[in-house]
Amino acid sequence: MKISYHGHSVVKIKTDSHTILIDPFITGNSLTDLEVSDQKPDVILLTHGHNDHVGDTMDIAKRCNPLIVGPNELAVYLGWQDFNTHGMNIGGSYTFDFGKVTYTQAFHSSSYTTDENEIIYTGMPAGIVFEAEGKTIYHAGDTSLFGDMALIGKKHAIDIAFLPIGDNFTMGPEDAAIAVELLKPKVVVPVHYDTFPPIKQNPETFKDLVKGYEVNIMKPGETIEF
């Protein structure tokens, strides 16, 4: 399995048989190394409906028709656009041919903004636990710190966790460091920072706050291989 980070909250997972993209915000993401036209995922996993997470989902789906898995209302909305979707909700798990997906709670908001200045409700925001090939990945999505992260860490032996540190809209470095203590991942990667002025952060600050766990500050395009 290869796991790569591509700026903001974009994560790509390559298993032996599938390519999975999480929150493919590429256009407008000044930090990413990806080109939308090059992306041909088998699956897109979405944490919530904000435009900087849904990102280029629809453009990618028009070209290669991946399965789009997301919170139910977001999946319904995308299904109305004739995309191939599978809706889920917090606390639910489903075993697909590419791996097992579990949606966890996240404390945030979730809506999609159209070009007509409409704000469309897209259900509850969520985190994702993804299990495949004997590995467990936790993508927290956009969230504040919450105590039940301890339950996520207790239930799942997390190999790698992607946690937002940008502050303003999500956890900042201090709260994200506490989240690491609750989740107990083998490796933690900070995400959702530096893309926009309100979320400028020095990831080294987060790394210095984390005690007893490995912090990997991944640059866009870098890969971890299990």
**Each residue's pLDDT tens digit in the chain (226 positions)?**
999 999 999 999 999 999 999 999 999 999 999 999 999 999 999 999 999 999 999 999 999 999 999 999 999 999 999 999 999 999 999 999 999 999 999 999 999 999 999 999 999 999 999 999 999 999 999 999 999 999 999 999 999 999 999 999 999 999 999 999 999 999 999 999 999 999 999 999 999 999 999 999 999 999 999 8
- Whole-number pLDDT of residue 88: 98
- Whole-number pLDDT of residue 219: 98
Q: Count up the domains in the chain and report the number.
A: 1
Does 59 reside within a domain?
yes
- Whole-number pLDDT of residue 62: 97
- Whole-number pLDDT of residue 186: 98
Burial of 197 (0-12, 13-18, 19+ CB in 10 A): exposed
* Residue 204: CATH number of its domain: 3.60.15.10
Does 225 reside within a domain?
no
Does 224 reside within a domain?
no
Sheet with 214-215: list strands edge to edge: 93-96, 99-105, 126-132, 135-139, 160-164, 187-191, 214-215
Residue in 120, 193, 187 with CA at minimum distance from that of residue 160: 187
Does the predicted TM-score (pTM) go above 0.75?
yes
- Whole-number pLDDT of residue 169: 98
Structural domain harbouring 175 = 2-218
